[in-house]
Chains A and B, each alone.
Chain A
């Protein structure tokens, strides 16, 4: 609401500024129709806007002025000097009121009736004195924000995108020249460009609140019309998203919310019968995950009736009855995205007018996003929209086919497998190609075919990119080779290029050559794959049992020292490129600064690398750490047959990948190394320390925290749960609460045996851990 008021103030003030010239001109020529219209529009707009807020004075004034002016416009009244003065007085007063609204100050004159009276045609001229003095602009709160045309931001963004590309090209040439001094100087330029890009990207970001703001009203209206009771819960409004992206998901979100209330949530009576509370709950939640925004819309309504969907799909001829029987629940759910299907038993005013989930999906996919639906009968539906943060810079995989390089949006890629790797079989059945990947049979498209190139000479050397451009339409794309993961600045492609139906945009690779960005749904369509249905059928087909148990997918990468290593894909949150400046040695280990977060850095030894490196960002659900590496080799199923490492460390053991040896990262060890200092929250034990003691607070506290404790002050709320209580030996006996271990600390180097010297680190940590340490000063007493 505050934002809306601010918008109202800013807009009104802008209009007033623009109008000031008009007002003077109108005063000179009251018959000027164009000026009259301008001023009429202003008071009309202000009246309308003020109606949204509780601003009775502004509303009454603008309403009165509007009435008078509309009489002039309709010719029932002429614009004489008196009317002009009266209207101007009102406009001035509106200006003052708006200023007062912003500064929160009260206005000296609280009575507007004289101004309104002055408008009437019989009013005596003297009445005009009251408010006609020009508004004083003294004391206007200086604004900390400015309003900019969006086009300007767009122009800056495209300029910076160009700059990034130019930098990439220059970087490549400097690298080729081998001039290390030049390279060092250029690194600084490069870092500045990266900062600039971040900054500009952020200027285009808006809080997703803007998208959520109309929801409460909409939910209220729809539930009113449908006679339902709905509570709306909104979460994550502070997530920021590209302005353009925001506009693109506005309609899909509106549609999903309408659907949820209209079709999902039951009437109060029905809910009572089902044993639920009368009021349904609709949750809209946004969060950022890596380069994507996840938008979840869930309700606790009746859920989507999978059987009903299948019936309708059968009637509509989308699936045959025979196939329908073999569909899995998830495949049945996916039918909701088929065009021409609606679960609504009756077409209502609100939804079910043929604009279905297929349109929602199409809109979301057009911006490189994904929609997923989960439903539990009687318990509700959850729809998840995954959209990239910005339209212009996307993470992509570059692949080769027919001697050329293409980019594929990372968001559409589910997995990458090698044809000759284990668990992959490629076959042709009646002219249609299929790939069986770990027991899952998928339609296969050869990128060379789709591009009209010659078939590959050596199909076995190809790789398959499993693409999931839609809810159900997983398919495999055969490419000649996998190149690299890159963040690409995508430019819109010309209509003649888009017309090919295969491409979503163009971009420039680091080597300065243009690269086409492939459009996964387009390629499937071009290959004659009726994507969604084929995907459903192919998945439903009984797949042969896998020859051997396949491990989870693992990322094969090359470390900075050139070794091959493996890490389970599930633990990899994202891959970043960073420059050495972001890495620093601190507190005995390397850390990397990524925007506003600082992560411990592994994989680089203890020396700051001298060139840009890539980072695996590994997460265990709570904490994150970065692992520096050189390049991605492949994603493969984790092979069996681990030869364990000689001792605990970064590597758990060695595996055979093809004919090469690869080391498997020991994630447990890595995270355990950092968990002590990073763990927080409920899980860690509590240690109470005396309050107000500078030694305890500043010097001891970090040590205790690094040992994995949450530190509270003795006697404060929460201290009764303490597992360990630290007390100063000088304070005499202080009782430890029931069950807690008491550790007494003394300032003197020598002292009673039941206390620990405060700088005897080893003994302190041992005492914290509850061990009887081998410390020489501490003897059992």
Chain B
């Protein structure tokens, strides 16, 4: 069976998240900032009675950039038992992949290389598959 992908928009590009890694698509409001935390941690948000750690995926990709303050669309995922909301520019749709995963081109630029887990064809486009764990870990992991 073809792999299901969630297409999101980040840094102006369409990228794919494996649908299996994603719990739901959520709308984030009222962030509680976390002073002292790494730059890609946008804050905390409550979803029903759960506390989500909100990740600014653009900052995760490139520490020098931030998503606009009014960003709302996020993808919820659970990593190591902790619930996260991955803020992106836009959540587009769930699509079926047209084929198997391919290894990523070695020419990927900086941040993309860190979060990329190969490429895949869907709807006639070649999309980068982003790794949820790498987005959550942010640029810190590379520094360590």
Contact A162 B51 (CB under 8 A): no
Residue of chain A at shortest CB distance from B30: A513
A164 to B32, CA, bound (A): 21
Q: How many residues belonging to A are interface residues under a CB distance threshold of 8 Å?
A: 34
Partner of A506, one of B51, B80, B84: B51
Contact A512 B36 (CB under 8 A): no
Asked if A169 is at the interface of the complex by the 8 Å CB criterion, the answer is yes
Partner of A494, one of B32, B46, B53: B53
Asked if B41 is at the interface of the complex by the 8 Å CB criterion, the answer is yes
- Residues of B within 8 Å of A450, CB to CB, are 36
A404 to B33, CA, bound (A): 8
- 9-residue interface stretch from A34-42, A84-92, A497-505: A497-505
A161 to B36, CA, bound (A): 28
CB distance from B84 to the nearest CB of A (A): 7
Contact A161 B49 (CB under 8 A): yes
Given A508-B46, A513-B46, A514-B45, are A503 and B34 also a contact pair (CB < 8 Å)? yes
A234 to B39, CA, bound (A): 52
The proximity string for B residues 28-48 relative to A, scoring 1 for CB distances below 8 Å and 0 otherwise, is 001011111110110011101
Interface-centre pick from B32, B34, B45 (highest chain A CB count, 10 A): B34
Partner of B35, one of A163, A402, A491, A514: A402
Contact B35 A162 (CB under 8 A): no
Contact A515 B32 (CB under 8 A): yes
Contact A514 B44 (CB under 8 A): yes
- Residues of A within 8 Å of B80, CB to CB, are 495
CB distance from A545 to the nearest CB of B (A): 38
Asked if A687 is at the interface of the complex by the 8 Å CB criterion, the answer is no
- Residues of B within 8 Å of A402, CB to CB, are 35
- Residues of A within 8 Å of B129, CB to CB, are none
Asked if A165 is at the interface of the complex by the 8 Å CB criterion, the answer is yes
A512 to B137, CA, bound (A): 27
- Residues of A within 8 Å of B53, CB to CB, are 493-494, 496-497
CB distance from A165 to the nearest CB of B (A): 3
CB distance from A510 to the nearest CB of B (A): 12
CB distance from A168 to the nearest CB of B (A): 9
- Residues of B within 8 Å of A512, CB to CB, are 46
- Residues of B within 8 Å of A507, CB to CB, are 51
Asked if B136 is at the interface of the complex by the 8 Å CB criterion, the answer is yes
- Residues of B within 8 Å of A496, CB to CB, are 37-38, 40-41, 53, 55, 136-138, 140
For window 1-59 of chain B, which residues contact chain A by CB distance below 8 Å?
Answer: 30, 32-38, 40-41, 44-46, 48-51, 53, 55
Contact A451 B49 (CB under 8 A): no
- Residues of B within 8 Å of A455, CB to CB, are none
Partner of A166, one of B40, B45, B48: B48
Given A495-B82, A506-B44, are A165 and B49 also a contact pair (CB < 8 Å)? yes
Contact B34 A516 (CB under 8 A): yes
Asked if A453 is at the interface of the complex by the 8 Å CB criterion, the answer is yes
With A491-B51, A492-B82, A516-B32 already in contact, 6 other A-B pairs whose C-beta atoms are closer than 8 Å = A453-B35, A496-B53, A496-B138, A497-B34, A500-B37, A514-B44
